[in-house]
């Protein structure tokens, strides 16, 4: 029985809170804190109605370490689940160290003034967490998160060596809007407009954004244009699986989405450098976020499903083999259960599971860990149980070249 503090009351925070409330034998007391307390209250009321669970709510500015320290000292959780924005990762880690509390997040730290996805800032906390006897779990969402654990599971059970990895992320859903992002627009647009990058023969190869495209076929969805982009779990997977000869990440985008994205970039609205507007500094991308649909409101009309998985080629008992492990998630089912669409759902469920495994002593260790460094078996067992069933295909055409 453990107390948990969830920081961030967006789409993902909503799902994590619902999911923790479904496991009272582990999460004996849940506190949800965020910048805007009314958003926490709205989630707490919905959960009280549905499960009868009391969720404590608090206001916090997670950019401010002293505020976080005061909150953590007041709540006294065993673990903090950070589902605010990547900008807050380091302040929340600092506050966890100051108060001797375990830490878990779903996205790696990014400096506000540069769209750069690297683990170096958080890996630099390794010695501090180790010395404090605490566990920091990085990237316990879907990708990173489930994709990383899928890779660990494949390496543990199905291969002697993994050589080629393609992570494939398809959103085959339709939210009915001309343009919207599935999670925080600022973070999402920073991610998808950066250059593509993949790992091959011990080096990183950079490509122009959306330059490499392939038609890939997704279970129950069919063929979709998939683009090579850089995604943060590639960095840790390449480090933790040194037998990898190549690692890539593919994401599907529709023509309509890409056309809007091009226009947004061409007119400067994806900019992250401040500009003067009517005597006040504003960041174009932050202004754009204010006028785009809130990803949290997309759920009601969202139809279709996501399909995200890992396609792996390697060696088992001296012979080459191929393997595909994936989950499909229906937006409407996610919405029916939690009031959030599938992308928030697929991130929030693994965040709860990672937290549960730390709190129940199934994932232990002192220091900073990416999720693939832990035992994948209890994670995948819980994934099935808590709403994200997964499937395996052996010796199939992976559409890799
Ligand atoms: P949202 O923008 O919907 O929610 C973020 C929440 O954090 C908001 O409630 C926001 O408050 C709050 N917040 C922002 N800044 C602060 C602050 N300084 N102090 C306190 N609270 C703050 O984002 P999502 O829920 O879509 O995403 C949450 C996280 O999950 C992000 O880090 C995202 O990158 C990650 N993610 C990971 C995925 C994965 O598979 N690994 C996939 C999708 C998302 P307010 O309401 O006031 O704005």
331-334 long-range Cβ contacts below 8 angstroms, 24+ apart: 331/173, 331/175, 331/299, 331/302, 331/303, 331/304, 331/305, 331/306, 332/302, 332/303, 334/15, 334/299, 334/387
What is the reported pLDDT for 113?
A: 84
CA distances from 281 to 85, 88, 369, 380 (A): 21, 21, 38, 46
pLDDT per residue as tens digits for the range 71-107: 999 999 999 999 999 999 999 999 999 999 999 999 9
Decide which of 113, 138, 163 is a domain's last residue.
138
pLDDT per residue as tens digits for the range 101-136: 999 999 999 998 887 889 999 999 999 999 999 999
What is the reported pLDDT for 117?
A: 85
Residue-range definition of the domain harbouring residue 86: 2-138
The pLDDT of 394-398, averaged and rounded, is 96
| Substitution candidate for ligand 1 out of 85, 170, 343, 347 with most atoms within 8 A of CB | 85
Q: State whether 68 and 167 are in the same domain.
A: no
* CATH for 237: 3.30.360.10
- Number of Cα atoms under 13 Å in the Cβ half of residue 159: 26
Expressed in angstroms and rounded, the spacing between residue 363 Cα and the centre of ligand 1 is: 25
Q: State whether 201 and 290 are in the same domain.
A: yes
Q: State whether 188 and 311 are in the same domain.
A: yes
pLDDT per residue as tens digits for the range 342-386: 999 999 999 999 999 999 999 999 999 999 999 999 999 999 999
Q: Is residue 361 part of a domain?
A: no
Residue 401 has pLDDT above 80, yes or no: no
Decide which of 108, 138, 168 is a domain's last residue.
138
Q: State whether 76 and 48 are in the same domain.
A: yes
Distance separating alpha carbons of residues 44 and 105, to the nearest angstrom? 21
What is the reported pLDDT for 190?
A: 85
* CATH for 12: 3.40.50.720
Q: How many CB atoms lie within 10 A of CB 61?
A: 15
Residues within 6 Å of ligand 1 by CB = 8-13, 34-36, 39, 60-63, 83-86, 88, 106-107, 141-145, 183-184, 187, 295-296, 343-344, 347
Distance separating alpha carbons of residues 340 and 366, to the nearest angstrom? 34
At 191, list the tokens.
Answer: 């991610």
What is the reported pLDDT for 44?
A: 98
Q: Is residue 342 part of a domain?
A: no
pLDDT per residue as tens digits for the range 286-313: 999 999 999 888 999 999 999 999 999 9
Q: Which residue has the tokens 């916090």?
A: 60
Residue 1 has pLDDT above 80, yes or no: no
Q: Which backbone phi and psi does 50 adopt, to 5 degrees?
A: -80, -45
Q: State whether 390 and 283 are in the same domain.
A: yes
Decide which of 79, 112, 138 is a domain's last residue.
138
Q: How many folded domains does the chain comprise?
A: 2
Q: Is residue 347 part of a domain?
A: no
pLDDT per residue as tens digits for the range 206-253: 999 999 999 999 999 999 999 999 999 999 999 999 999 999 999 999
Q: State whether 231 and 259 are in the same domain.
A: yes
Provide the whole-model pTM: 0.96
């Amino acid at each position: 029985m453990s107390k948990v503090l969830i920081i961030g009351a967006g789409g993902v925070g909503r799902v994590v809170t619902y999911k923790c409330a479904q496991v009272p034998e582990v999460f004996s007391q849940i506190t949800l804190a965020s910048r805007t307390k009314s958003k926490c209250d709205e989630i707490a009321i919905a959960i009280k109605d549905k499960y009868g669970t009391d969720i404590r709510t608090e206001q916090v500015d997670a950019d401010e370490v002293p505020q976080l320290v005061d909150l953590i000292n007041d709540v006294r959780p065993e673990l903090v689940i950070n589902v605010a924005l990547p900008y807050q990762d380091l302040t929340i880690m600092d506050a966890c160290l100051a108060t001797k509390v375990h830490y878990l997040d779903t996205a790696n730290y990014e400096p506000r003034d540069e769209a750069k996805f690297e683990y170096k800032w958080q890996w630099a906390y390794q010695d501090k967490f180790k010395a404090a006897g605490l566990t920091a779990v990085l990237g316990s969402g879907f990708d990173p998160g489930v994709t990383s654990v899928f890779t660990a599971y494949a390496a543990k059970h199905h291969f002697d060596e993994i050589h080629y990895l393609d992570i494939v992320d398809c959103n085959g859903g339709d939210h009915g809007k001309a343009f919207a992002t599935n999670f925080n627009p600022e973070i999402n647009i920073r991610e998808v407009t950066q250059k593509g990058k993949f790992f091959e023969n011990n080096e990183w190869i950079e490509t122009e954004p959306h330059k490499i495209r392939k038609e890939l076929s997704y279970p129950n969805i069919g063929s979709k244009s998939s683009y090579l982009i850089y995604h943060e779990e590639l960095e840790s997977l390449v480090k933790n699986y040194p037998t990898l000869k190549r690692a890539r990440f593919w994401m599907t985008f529709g023509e309509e989405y890409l056309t809007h994205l091009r226009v947004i970039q061409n007119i400067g609205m994806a900019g992250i450098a401040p500009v003067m507007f009517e005597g006040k500094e504003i960041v174009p991308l932050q202004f754009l976020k204010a006028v785009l649909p809130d990803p949290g409101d997309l759920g009601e009309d969202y139809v279709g499903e996501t399909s995200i998985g890992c396609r792996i080629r390697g060696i088992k008992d001296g012979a080459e083999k191929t393997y595909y492990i994936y989950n499909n998630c229906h937006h409407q089912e996610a919405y029916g259960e939690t009031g959030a669409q599938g992308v928030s759902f697929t991130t929030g469920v693994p965040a709860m599971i990672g937290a549960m495994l730390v709190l129940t002593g199934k994932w232990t260790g002192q220091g900073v860990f990416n999720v693939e460094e832990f035992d994948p078996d209890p994670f995948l067992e819980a994934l099935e149980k808590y709403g994200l069933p997964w499937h395996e295909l052996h010796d199939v055409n992976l559409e890799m070249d």
